[in-house]
Structure 1
């Protein structure tokens, strides 16, 4: 019985006492009504059952479905819900099942890992477990337990994914001078839109290099970023990297050359790709002349 219910019950008893000591005719008491009488200087009485005054105590009930799956990406914030109705004096605890580690009791965090926190607004029925800066090791089953006799629980699973960038097409692109260079980068396996996507040419960030013929457009909600160079020149050859703020980057190497595409370019080694664009063209030309 809660403190408020106890107070209300006492008030009801006082009202019954006042009515019982009043003047005037009274009808015989029913078995379930309150009666008072003085016998040998002692006050005795009978009271109606508690449930007749307040009704049946509502049963605790989880509104969050058992075995709910929450997916979050590495580095983001995960919110694992637990909504329970008619909690009364019950207390919510969160437990990590893989090691039976007690994370929170009520609004108090018991784990030494302060990334875990119970979120609850006053008078709400929601006791969400918040996990900040999610890591791969956070994946697994979590138990939302409410104190009762015996305790009752539901189990929820946190899946952790690693968002990554992906540039469409092969990892190497071959163009002639004057051709249009178009690259599209998508962010996959993501649970939230990137705040930004940066493009790098070798080690230079080129999002704002309009004077060099580079045009970058990004649609965060669609998880897409496009790089366009309408007229590509020799200076545009090299490594291009798409770097979202919340995902693993992706790279592609662009070759720009005159003449036919030699077979040797199809299997360029990583060491060979580190050559500057100008050195690369000279080396390619010399090799082609020797073979010929």
Structure 2
């Protein structure tokens, strides 16, 4: 065999030896049967906590206190609040308890009286009952009910008051010419400030009667209105009426006398004229009965 042939044969033998050695070196040595742990052959299953599968849903509850009292005056707008947390798919209804009349369901008004309306903004938890142009007959208990099993409710009471004007002092005032006439009118039993207060002298509105010396100042926040005439004259005598836009008016009669006895002036006022008239008529009436 030639020298080159011998070299090729040596290379082939060397490659075969290398491949066998590498295969034997990489094969893992088997473990004795006694060293195999049984737990490697067991199947284990882990479940997540139930709270993770079914998260806790917050409980529905009312944020508005039960037996809440709302006071409103006649002619104004009353707002009865009903705030419900976590209402979910619940539906809110308003019921008037004195006659169990269904007023609203959701945002739909079921009453023929369109003064009642449910107010609710999207994503809000407040379901307010709005009553426009409140009347005395609207006073009473109202139920805010949420549909559930069983239904849950709270009750609110609407109190209705009648605002009225009140002029300080007696119902009649006596002054001499040149004296200062000052009248103060306050609005009492009111739940909201008046938008305006008008003063009338007899049948004429005098809020802006500056030429005749009349000065009117009104403070709506304080519910007060003052009328001032620095130098009253005979032309300023008569009936004065304070008329707030949201209250019952009040009146006072002013006498302007010139050196006369104020007691004698009483006969000139409307109320005293009527009393004197009946005093004069009574003796004649009795005399006619006697004659019969």
TM-score (norm 1): 0.76
Deviations 1:111-159 (A, max 9, x none): 1101000000000100000000101000000000111111110000000
Structure 1 residue ranges (4+ consecutive) displaced by more than 6 angstroms after TM superposition: none
Matches within 5 A, 1:1-292: 28-30=44-46, 32=47, 49=50, 51-266=51-266, 268-270=269-271, 272=273
Stretches of structure 2 that go unaligned for 5 or more consecutive residues are 1-41, 275-292
Deviations 1:158-210 (A, max 9, x none): 00000100000000000000000000000000111111000000000000000
In structure 1, C-alpha distance between the alignment counterparts of 2:252 and 2:110, rounded to whole Å: 47
In structure 2, C-alpha distance between the alignment counterparts of 1:257 and 1:203, rounded to whole Å: 21
Check conservation: 2:238, 2:255, Cα contact below 8 A.
Answer: yes
In structure 2, C-alpha distance between the alignment counterparts of 1:191 and 1:80, rounded to whole Å: 14
In structure 2, C-alpha distance between the alignment counterparts of 1:129 and 1:262, rounded to whole Å: 56
Most deviating of 54-63 and 242-251: 54-63
1:262 Cα deviation after fit: 4.0
* Bigger Rg, structure 1 or 2: 2
Stretches of structure 1 that go unaligned for 5 or more consecutive residues are 1-25, 34-47, 274-292
1:53 Cα deviation after fit: 2.5
In structure 2, C-alpha distance between the alignment counterparts of 1:211 and 1:205, rounded to whole Å: 13
In structure 2, C-alpha distance between the alignment counterparts of 1:27 and 1:233, rounded to whole Å: 112
- Determine helix, strand or coil for the equivalent of 2:222: coil
Corresponding residue pairs, total? 233
In structure 1, C-alpha distance between the alignment counterparts of 2:111 and 2:188, rounded to whole Å: 32
Higher helix share: 2
TM-score (norm 2): 0.76
CA pair 55-261 structure 1, distance change in 2 beyond 3 A = farther
In structure 2, C-alpha distance between the alignment counterparts of 1:176 and 1:243, rounded to whole Å: 26
- Determine helix, strand or coil for the equivalent of 1:221: helix
In structure 2, C-alpha distance between the alignment counterparts of 1:141 and 1:210, rounded to whole Å: 49
1:264 Cα deviation after fit: 4.0
Check conservation: 2:104, 2:110, Cα contact below 8 A.
Answer: yes
1:69 Cα deviation after fit: 0.4
- Determine helix, strand or coil for the equivalent of 1:270: helix
In structure 1, C-alpha distance between the alignment counterparts of 2:199 and 2:114, rounded to whole Å: 35
Please report the RMSD computed on the Cα atoms of aligned residues, expressed in angstroms.
1.9
1:57 Cα deviation after fit: 1.7
